[in-house]
Amino acid sequence: MARQCRPRDSDDLDRLAAAHPEELVVGRWEDAVDLVALAREISGRDVELVIADDAAFMAGLLAAGLPHGAAELVTSFGAATRGGFLANVSSAVADLTGHTPTALAAVVRAALKS
């Protein structure tokens, strides 16, 4: 069962409202190489990292049936990542919720066990 994390008081809500999304990255930043390694581990398959420019990536998402708006959103994550906007690791989530955040790999492994 997922743990709900709620701000502890109105000051926490104010800090959360003032936070920039890039300040809410938690724990350790996982890049594409890390995600490929996780995919290999959990799938037991050889997974290859393929670098594609945004236009080619978006075309692939559209060809796979994603709606245009969703494809734009997913594609924007790559641009934000390459720009370094998502790589700032902070303690903001732990400070606001009082809980140590769980790493993505641990969440994925736990979900696969259930």
Query: Exposed/middle/buried for 75, CB within 10 Å: 0-12, 13-18, 19+?
Result: buried
Question: What's the pTM?
Answer: 0.57
Domain locations in the chain as residue ranges: 10-99
- Tokens 């989530």, located at residue: 93
For the segment 58-98, what is each residue's pLDDT rounded down to a tens digit? 999 999 999 999 999 999 988 888 887 777 777 777 888 88
Contacts of 104 (CB under 8 A, 6+ apart): 30, 38
For the segment 27-47, what is each residue's pLDDT rounded down to a tens digit? 566 778 888 999 999 999 999
